[in-house]
Amino acid sequence: MKVAVALLGMLSCAAAFPWPYPAQFDHSNCTIKADSPTIVAKNSGSALLDSAISRYTAIIAKERFWPPADYKLKKPETTGTLGKLLVEVATDSEDLNMETDESYTLDIPAGGDATLKANTVYGAMRGLETFSQLLATIDGQRVVRGTPLHIEDRPALAHRGISLDTARNYYPVSDLKRTLDAMSYNKMNVLHWHVVDAQSWPIESKTYPELQTNGAYSVDMRYSYKDVSDIIQYGRERGIRIIPEFDIPGHTFIVGQTFPKIMSCLDKQPGWDKYAAEPPSGQLNIAKPEASEFAIELVNEYSKLFTDDVFHLGGDEVNRNCWAEDPDVKEYISSHANATVETLLADFYTQVHNAVAKQEKIGMSWEETLFHSEYAPPKDTLIQTWIDEQSIPKTVAKGYRSIASPASSYYLDCGHGAWLSNFDGNSWCDPFKSWMHVYNFNPWANVTDPEQQKLI
């Protein structure tokens, strides 16, 4: 069940506060009945809008939210009755990307029809969410408080996402859809799907079907092409983009279960921590052309399956020692003048980013690609900053866009204990990050240049 944040007060004329708080919210002191509001689209040919209206009509019909602060209130006096909600969208375009306009204007009078206006269907979706949050039930009477009210809203950030890892922990399609529902209730618009990692390869591959056969935890823990398309469409219907991440060249032990000959330092035991950030160890062998060809084929295949214009290549936590001790890497370096592990890694990054560009996609990578290698990513690359909060201003100072994801504020796995049996019980990023800590983080801190602020 979704809940709107209610004003803590005892007056029946108090206004309900939608979440997140709108850019502009003007309200008065009247309360109107809203028994069964009808939502009607005006002059729209958008199937996505029709779907959103049907969905919110069902949500509103089902929910009877009574704000806890108002439990002792009696049925309020009302000054009028809400009629229809008339939805107007300026264009039928259903393009969804980082530049999509999600703004909307919502007016609810002290009686009669309300109006919701947006430039795109996705702005209308955000407005429908706000409208549903403004409805409250007091002592059995559904009402809208604070009318007449006027809201003008737009997102402060173009990318408002959640990252979900389905490799270390498999989640069924129903759980992913439930997550997308929760995101839509909070007006979030990007699911960063960390599909694969060292631990498992749950997603179907038409190019290399053995990856899923050998890499999924079980036959019941897999995603088919149909599942992926279903999730993409489910997100689209809620104004949520699905950005896939295929982390290369590190975090790839599971690839070695199918193609061991293109791997380096595969499952080194004991002493795995000399070769990887976490077990099991294994990285694509950047000295072997076959490894680069494999990575490029992955980009070619999955950039067609995933429809978003952004493709995440990972690139984090690569272990230099893994390659420095690899016989093929050592042989390549000894036989090529000026070759080093760093030049090999930069060449690998160049090849996979070029492959993304050839698919007419925008590359995305973790900050190590920019700060911890000799490679200079294309300027349109999205850099996901996670190691240090200061990485955000450093990234935008170089002219790159930063997807701000600092572990110190945004990582939700912190404080739940270690998952390695020989550790002392603490997680790698203790302590737990409470919702207050998450919302107190300011991604614009230490960025004073207005043009650089736009890159966050």
CA distances from 59 to 186, 189, 409, 417 (A): 15, 20, 32, 37
CA angle 429, 383, 290 (to 5 degrees): 95
Sign of CA dihedral 181, 186, 191, 195: negative
Name 2's Cβ contacts closer than 8 Å, sequence gap at least 6: 59, 63, 132, 133, 182, 185
Closest by CA to 317, choosing from 253, 240, 411, 238, is 253
Could you give the CA distance from residue 266 to residue 285 in angstroms, rounded to a whole number? Answer: 10
For residue 109, cis peptide bond before it (omega within 30 degrees of 0): no
H and E: helices and strands count for the chain: 14, 18
Could you give the CA distance from residue 166 to residue 245 in angstroms, rounded to a whole number? Answer: 11
Could you give the CA distance from residue 69 to residue 76 in angstroms, rounded to a whole number? Answer: 14
Closest by CA to 422, choosing from 244, 270, 283, is 270
For residue 249, cis peptide bond before it (omega within 30 degrees of 0): yes
Under DSSP, is residue 160 helix (H, G, I), strand (E, B) or coil? coil
Residues forming the active site? 317
Where helices occur in 398-445 by DSSP H, the ranges are 407-410, 435-440
Instruction: Provide the residue type at 146 as one letter.
Output: G
Phi, psi of 24 (to 5 degrees): -140, 130
Could you give the CA distance from residue 212 to residue 255 in angstroms, rounded to a whole number? Answer: 10
Instruction: Provide the residue type at 406 as one letter.
Output: P
Roughly how many angstroms between the first and final C-alpha of the chain, as a whole number?
31
Under DSSP, is residue 40 helix (H, G, I), strand (E, B) or coil? strand
Contact between 129 and 102 under an 8 Å Cβ cutoff? The reply is no
Where helices occur in 186-253 by DSSP H, the ranges are 210-215, 225-236
* Bridge partner list, 27: 149
DSSP state of 204: -
